[in-house]
Amino acid sequence: MAFPHSLTLVSRVLMTPLRAPMERLIAAWVETRLVEPPPDALDLDPALPVLYVLPRPALSDTLLLASLTRAHGLPPAGGRRTVGSLTLPACLALPVPRRRPWRRATRPQAPFRALIEQRGRGLEGEVQLVPVSIFWGRAPGKRFGFWKMLSADSWRLTGRLRRALSVLVNGKSVEIHFGAPLRLGDLLVEADGPPDSAQTNRKAARLLRVHFRRLRTRVLGPDLSHRRTLIEGVAASPEVRRVIGELAADGRPSPARLERRALRYGREIASNMTYPVLRFMDGLLRRLWNRLYDGVEVRGLERVKALAGDHTLVYVPCHRSHIDYLLLSYVLYRDGLMPPHIAAGRNLDMPLIGPLLRRGGAFFLRRSFRDNRLYATVFNEYLHRLISRGHPLEYFIEGGRSRSGRMLPARPGMLAMTLRSFLRSAAGGTRRPLAFVPVYIGYERIIENASYQRELRGGRKRRESPLALMRVLGQLRQPFGRVAVNVGEPLVLADYLDETVGPRWRHGREERPEWLGDLVPRLGETLGRRINAAAALNPVNLVALVLLATPHHAIEASLLERQLALLAELQRRLPGGTHASLPEGEPAGWIDQAVGLGMVERRAHPLGDIVVADAARAALLGWYRNNVLHLFALAGLTAFAFRHQASHHPEALETLLAPAWPILTRELMVAPPASLQAGLAEMLALLGDLGLLEREGEHWRRRGEPLEAGECLDLLGQLMQPSLERGYLLLSVLLDAGTGRLTADELAGQSRQLAERLALLSGLDAPEFFDTRLFVSLVESLEREGWLWQEAGRLAFDDRLREAALQSRRLFDPALRHRLQLVTRRG
């Protein structure tokens, strides 16, 4: 049996006496940073022989694979394998084109034809082909030092000398990726009529090459051109040249001066991602996470890997901490995905930190550039080139970090620019699939605790500086618990446009169609809900949910355990988010974890321990509660309805909750059930199963016994009381003023003042309760639902709003209603 030249060369070396010592040397020198999937997870049929397939001939890859398969008990990749009547090397490689100076490059045939002919003659000779990709270092760009440039894996094929250098230089950073086994018999079944061995051979090779190319794109990303060349290309693009011409014609600076300014803007914006910095930051962050946190839990990354090979990925994480910038890139790099280019505020482009972030993939943008056409055009062109070339991106749709712990409404800027870039590529006929990847990042404790509380109380946001970073580093000795990175349901943009806009977007040639302005807020809301649907419950936010529902932020440890178990069971049986997660362990351990992090205090008592939080801790816990409050929106609202009215008919309950429910879902950014009626029916049945309610004919009622059931139901209902109180205050201000009397800003401002007054009179030290943005969002939600509209810049309404407000007041017990009325009247 004759094999291609490159295969024959490798097999000759492998059959020499040097094979065993070379394999031992490779095994001793190399450290595999990642093996994916784990070897024991490969779905191999033990009854069928296995042949491993490499994307190109490489002795180092073959030796390393042989060592790995032996160490993990896989079918050996060394030696030869008998398949039917054929004897083949256990490790094959796809051939590479042979280049000769005097002739065109030709691609030799793939080495499967003999196998295919044998398999086509009968049932014997079935074989499993397992594709294997091995990366010796990872090089996303070109500017990273002489030895790294020579040796790191990139898109260029490597010669023997460069491969030897790669083994020496990158032997401590090797990734191995196994593909799904491919059976030759499946290819023959798909063929029409008698199998053509030559055609099936080409088909097998094509399928494997597609797999290798997709995986290489996923791991290495597209080839990144030289930064200077990219910036010059942006400044010389037709769009930038057009704006320069228009500005020069208006009597602005000369074209030459505007061209220099465009280049300066490009250098200010563009990232400079380099391989040594990624490697350095990988090692640095690994040590940082090990010191700062007890672990980083990642869920749902398989949804990203399914898209990474042929989609441009835009990661849209929630923004809770400065750590977010580093954490997601670290997780992606660690798990074999290309780190994204990250949109960062220009305030982070400070001495020492800025250059490091820029080389790690950050590109910087100004807070606002609406009045600077040239800067806006340069930034749009730079972003378009990244997107059109398939580079993964990351930006925070909220704009800034959430000081209240809630998911903030999406800002339109980056989303609109991404949409326009996608439409521009589609109009040019070079459409590449684009997918948004929502990511929820959850902390048990954040490093910005103190600064967030100060800013919520009206303090000025301090400017970032290296000195401020040094102050943060001083906290590294404190415990910060665990971190969760949960990937939500990706949103494929083309499918979303088909669903919301229809097929007209595919035939348009406009970069800014008339429907774009309405679509961007809807897209932001959808992404916000998908981020929240992947929320991570942890011991701290679970304890915060319960403890802050008590009047004095103190609760018996036994009751706290029962309530924590109730919240966990609600999430298991009727999840508030499709990809939300629960912590490991039991409620008693969760309480100990919160105590160990210093978030609550456990006080011993002869009649049973009590868990308490002083005023300062309670204010901090509000941030963590708000991270996950949305997961219990329907459960909390349903329980609240039973606080002072013991019995409800399901239809009457739906009528009572219907006005408040859509406003609440928009405030909390939670995807509502398709039908409130069906959602309520499920929730009532679940609360009945959990012993909090009981059915009496067609009505649901509170249970009289045991008393613990009533306590648990009240604590659950208390979760939604702050949101309902804010709505009550705002409607009271609006109805007292009358239609057409207040602007949106005036209504939000007066409502905030009343909420602050209520908080002070109630002894509630929770600045997020009277956060102005919550009232602004509430006004916008009422407008979106059609309860309010603008007339001459002022808010107008009709009797429908008055009737809905009167109906919603029935949710409040008389004492609470009286307290709220006193606050509004005296205010």
Domain for residue 105, yes or no?
yes
CB–CB of 431/528 below 8 Å? Answer: no
The answer to which of 216-220, 246-250, 529-533 has the lowest mean pLDDT is 216-220
* E strand map for 476-594: 482-487, 491-492, 554-556
CATH number, domain with residue 310: 3.40.1130
pLDDT for the residue 16: 59
Please, what's the b/e burial string for 645-664 (b: 16 or more CB within 10 A of its CB; e: otherwise)? eeebeeeebbebbebbbbbb
- Per the structure block, which two tokens stand in for 534? 């992947």
Domain for residue 42, yes or no?
yes
Domain for residue 187, yes or no?
yes
More confidently predicted of 144 and 316: 316
453 has pLDDT over 90: no
How confident is residue 104, by pLDDT bands cut at 50, 70 and 90?
A: low
Rounded average pLDDT over 669-695: 93
Domain for residue 65, yes or no?
yes
Considering only CA atoms, which of 78, 77, 76, 80 is closest in space to residue 88?
80
Tens-digit pLDDT profile for residues 67-90? 888 888 899 888 888 888 888 888
pLDDT for the residue 248: 87
Tens-digit pLDDT profile for residues 551-571? 889 999 999 999 999 999 999
Rounded average pLDDT over 745-758: 87
Of 175, 201, 220, the residue at which a domain comes to its end is 220
Tens-digit pLDDT profile for residues 627-658? 999 999 999 999 999 988 899 999 999 999 99
How confident is residue 156, by pLDDT bands cut at 50, 70 and 90?
A: very low
806 has pLDDT over 70: yes
Considering only CA atoms, which of 165, 162, 5, 18 is closest in space to residue 78?
18
Rounded average pLDDT over 93-117: 70
Which residues fall within 8 angstroms of residue 117, CB to CB, at 6 or more apart?
A: 197
Instruction: Clarify whether residues 690 and 726 are in a common domain.
Output: no
pLDDT for the residue 183: 85
CB–CB of 736/806 below 8 Å? Answer: no
Instruction: Clarify whether residues 644 and 780 are in a common domain.
Output: no
- Per the structure block, which two tokens stand in for 212? 């290798």
Instruction: Clarify whether residues 496 and 574 are in a common domain.
Output: no
pLDDT for the residue 5: 43
- Per the structure block, which two tokens stand in for 577? 């988010």
pLDDT for the residue 474: 58
Instruction: Clarify whether residues 642 and 595 are in a common domain.
Output: yes
How confident is residue 20, by pLDDT bands cut at 50, 70 and 90?
A: confident
Residue 344 backbone zone (phi > 0: left; psi -120 to 50: alpha; other: beta): beta
pLDDT for the residue 525: 94
Instruction: Clarify whether residues 203 and 351 are in a common domain.
Output: no
- Give CA–CA dist 827/805, Å, rounded: 19
CB–CB of 805/735 below 8 Å? Answer: yes
- Give CA–CA dist 664/724, Å, rounded: 8
How confident is residue 470, by pLDDT bands cut at 50, 70 and 90?
A: low
- Prediction pTM value: 0.83
Percent of the chain surpassing pLDDT 90 = 38
How confident is residue 17, by pLDDT bands cut at 50, 70 and 90?
A: low
Rounded average pLDDT over 773-796: 89
CA triplet 116, 121, 122: central angle to 5 degrees?
A: 105
- Per the structure block, which two tokens stand in for 555? 């609760």
444 has pLDDT over 90: yes
Cα-based torsion angle of the residue sequence 732, 737, 740, 745 in order, rounded to the nearest 10 degrees: -70
More confidently predicted of 756 and 766: 756
Domain for residue 503, yes or no?
yes
Residues written for the chain: 827
CB–CB of 171/61 below 8 Å? Answer: no
Residue 768 phi, psi (nearest 5): -65, -20
Considering only CA atoms, which of 123, 127, 130, 120 is closest in space to residue 91?
130
pLDDT for the residue 467: 55
More confidently predicted of 725 and 524: 524
216 has pLDDT over 90: no
Instruction: Clarify whether residues 658 and 676 are in a common domain.
Output: yes
More confidently predicted of 719 and 616: 719
Please state, rounded to an integer, the average pLDDT across all residues of the chain: 84
- Give CA–CA dist 222/240, Å, rounded: 24
Percent of the chain surpassing pLDDT 70 = 86
- Give CA–CA dist 649/26, Å, rounded: 73
Query: Beta strand pairing status for 80-83 and 86-89?
Result: antiparallel
CB–CB of 479/445 below 8 Å? Answer: yes
- Per the structure block, which two tokens stand in for 719? 């979760």
HSE at residue 457, side-chain half, CA atoms within 13 A, is 12
Rounded average pLDDT over 200-205: 84
CB atoms within 10 A of CB 372: 14
**407-413: long-range pairs with CB below 8 Å, 24+:** 407/318, 407/528, 407/531, 407/532, 407/630, 407/669, 408/319, 408/773, 409/524, 409/525, 409/528, 409/777, 409/780, 410/521, 410/523, 410/524, 410/525, 410/527, 410/528, 411/524, 412/520, 412/521, 412/524
Rounded average pLDDT over 508-522: 85
HSE at residue 47, side-chain half, CA atoms within 13 A, is 2
- Per the structure block, which two tokens stand in for 22? 């070379």
Please give the full DSSP string across 696-764, using - where no structure is assigned.
Answer: ETTEEEE--S-HHHHHHHHHHHHTTHHHHHHHHHHHHHHHHH-TTS--HHHHHHHHHHHHHHHHHHTT-
How confident is residue 100, by pLDDT bands cut at 50, 70 and 90?
A: low
Domain for residue 452, yes or no?
no
CA triplet 304, 305, 309: central angle to 5 degrees?
A: 110
Instruction: Clarify whether residues 767 and 779 are in a common domain.
Output: yes
Rounded average pLDDT over 40-62: 87
Instruction: Clarify whether residues 307 and 390 are in a common domain.
Output: yes
pLDDT for the residue 9: 44
How confident is residue 477, by pLDDT bands cut at 50, 70 and 90?
A: low
CB–CB of 312/432 below 8 Å? Answer: yes
- Per the structure block, which two tokens stand in for 185? 């018999």
Instruction: Clarify whether residues 304 and 421 are in a common domain.
Output: yes
Domain for residue 255, yes or no?
no
Rounded average pLDDT over 679-689: 95
**Domain housing 191:** 5-220
Instruction: Clarify whether residues 665 and 770 are in a common domain.
Output: no
Instruction: Clarify whether residues 161 and 201 are in a common domain.
Output: yes
- Residue at 612: amino acid letter: V
How confident is residue 549, by pLDDT bands cut at 50, 70 and 90?
A: very high
pLDDT for the residue 420: 93
Instruction: Clarify whether residues 290 and 190 are in a common domain.
Output: no
Number of domains into which the chain is organized: 4
Rounded average pLDDT over 382-403: 91
Tens-digit pLDDT profile for residues 136-150? 876 543 333 444 444
Residue 697 phi, psi (nearest 5): 65, -125
- Give CA–CA dist 121/297, Å, rounded: 51
CB atoms within 10 A of CB 667: 21
pLDDT for the residue 29: 79
Domain for residue 211, yes or no?
yes
CB–CB of 438/534 below 8 Å? Answer: yes
715 has pLDDT over 90: yes
Instruction: Specify the DSSP element, H or E, that contains 266.
Output: helix 255-269
Handedness of CA 289, 291, 292, 294 (dihedral sign): positive
The answer to which of 41-45, 419-423, 758-762, 804-808 has the lowest mean pLDDT is 758-762
